Amino acid sequence: MHIDPVQCPGRQGQKEYSEQPDLLAQLKGEGKPVPYHVAESLCQVKNSGIPKGGWTGGDAWFGSVSACVHLKKIHGVDSTFVVKGTANSYLFPQQVLQAVMRSRHPEYPQGKWVVMTTEIQGVKLTAICYAWSKHGLAYFITTMGNTRLSIHKYKSRYQGLYGEVVEVELDRPEILHFVFVLLPLIDNHNKLRQAELGAEKSWPTKDAWTKLFVAIVGMAVVDLFCLYKYHFTDKYEKIDVQEFANRLTTPLEEMKRVRKVLPKAIRNEASIGKLIHYQTMFGTSTKNVTPKQKIGKHARGKKGSGSQGTCWICRLHGGQYGCDMERGWTTFMCADCGTPICAETTGRKFHKIVKFSSCYDYDEHKTSCHHAVQCDGKRKHRVTAQLRNEVQSLYGLW
């Protein structure tokens, strides 16, 4: 098996085979390189160790006439792909196949197929249009197999006139039966990883590389789960992927988490040396005078009470350590970025547990290496559930 995530065009163009001359463009006398999906298909076949004379297949992202021709000419590997839309439909007779299908079977096309063959660069190709329902057409390109009637029927289920489930058996060619048996394996693998294992939901993150790492770990666990169920069926037949993951992680020790801070040499303490009175987005540090404050002999010139904001650190750690308060009101903010920070002893549960009198003494805003916590010159004001979970799991004090 070979894992190679598809990246942006700039990165994809740096991979192997990306500079391979396009054999189809040479027919027109052009010197273009192969498309990205063709280069990716060539890399997958080579790095997966598929021998000459083997077979590979894939969905519509990989499927094109160009992919089949290059795989056969360069690696000697046969292939069958789904062709969908116009992105990879160069030289594929999709409109002609559709017209022939509608002409031959105008009323009941389901279970019927139309075939066209050709040869490009010495590679024999077969284009197939298959009607899996009255209005649904699927297109395929292949360099192997036959289109004779298969002994295995395709079971189509749909909702009947009165809401009942109707099941009918449809004919299909042998090559499509072979493909339809293998292609769902990828969907089943993704279902095990995303829905049942759910590693990406358990480790939420905003970092793209961390998310990619978690996805690859999930792939590795599911791959191992499938291998064990295949080779040790009697022992692992009745357990699911979550139970299998629990057995894998049993020998691991619980990590002792500590507060992650920046090294003292690169801390930004010079510019975050003090707190100032809180100011709103409009630059005001006091509230409007209420009608009650206007009454009395000292009412002339009286200002409203100080403006307040909700402490950023309290909001991030709200609900942790048994603390019920997610918002801590404060009249102070960071002088550098304007983020509200607690500066006085408040007696909140969070302050007692971390053994600091205030969030400013806790100095996480000064020293943290997390982008959402540290002072970066920008005012922080919006906390999401995902951000709170990430900070509590990675940067809490245990």
Share of the chain above pLDDT 70, in %: 76
Residue 118 to residue 124: CA distance in whole angstroms: 6
Q: Highest-confidence range of 179-188, 224-233, 301-310, 312-321, by mean pLDDT?
A: 224-233
For 347-358, the pLDDT digits (tens) are 555 565 555 556
Whether residues 283 and 381 share a domain: the answer is yes
Is 134 a member of any domain?
yes
Residue 328 to residue 170: CA distance in whole angstroms: 65
pLDDT at 308 (0 to 100): 77
**Cβ atoms 16, 3 nearer than 8 A:** no
- Residue of higher predicted confidence among 182 and 366: 182
Whether residues 364 and 313 share a domain: the answer is yes
Is 122 a member of any domain?
yes
For 21-78, the pLDDT digits (tens) are 999 888 888 888 899 899 999 999 999 899 999 999 988 888 999 999 999 999 999 9
Is 169 a member of any domain?
no
CA atoms within 13 A on the CB side of 353: 14
Is 63 a member of any domain?
yes
- Residue 322 — pLDDT band, cuts 50, 70, 90? very low
- Residue 149 — pLDDT band, cuts 50, 70, 90? very high
Dihedral sign for Cα atoms in the order 209, 212, 218, 219: negative
Residue range of the domain that includes 336: 264-288+304-395
pLDDT at 1 (0 to 100): 64
| Range in 286-290, 327-331, 362-366 the model is least confident about | 362-366
* Residue 270 scores a pLDDT above 50: no
Residue 358 to residue 330: CA distance in whole angstroms: 11
Whether residues 30 and 84 share a domain: the answer is yes
pLDDT at 297 (0 to 100): 54
Of 90, 122, 147, which residue sits at a domain end? 147
pLDDT at 309 (0 to 100): 79
For 63-105, the pLDDT digits (tens) are 999 999 999 999 999 999 999 877 788 889 999 999 999 999 9
Whether residues 92 and 202 share a domain: the answer is no
Tokens 């909702």, located at residue = 159
Of 98, 122, 147, which residue sits at a domain end? 147
* Residue 301 scores a pLDDT above 60: no
CA atoms within 13 A on the CB side of 156: 14
Helix (H) or strand (E) holding 130: strand 123-131
Q: Which residues contact 386 (CB under 8 A, 6 or more apart)?
A: 204, 206
Whether residues 80 and 39 share a domain: the answer is yes
Tokens of 324: 């019920």
Is 296 a member of any domain?
no
Share of the chain above pLDDT 90, in %: 25
Whether residues 225 and 331 share a domain: the answer is no
- Residue of higher predicted confidence among 288 and 65: 65
* Residue 303 scores a pLDDT above 60: yes
Is 343 a member of any domain?
yes
Query: How large is the average pLDDT for residues 233-248?
Result: 88
Of 119, 147, 175, which residue sits at a domain end? 147
- Residue 397 — pLDDT band, cuts 50, 70, 90? very low
pTM comes to 0.57
Whether residues 34 and 98 share a domain: the answer is yes
Is 202 a member of any domain?
yes
- Residue 257 — pLDDT band, cuts 50, 70, 90? low
Total domains present in the chain: 3
Whether residues 194 and 235 share a domain: the answer is yes
Mean pLDDT of the chain: 79
Is 373 a member of any domain?
yes
Whether residues 52 and 128 share a domain: the answer is yes
| Range in 2-6, 132-136, 388-392 the model is least confident about | 388-392
Whether residues 75 and 131 share a domain: the answer is yes
pLDDT at 225 (0 to 100): 92
Whether residues 103 and 76 share a domain: the answer is yes
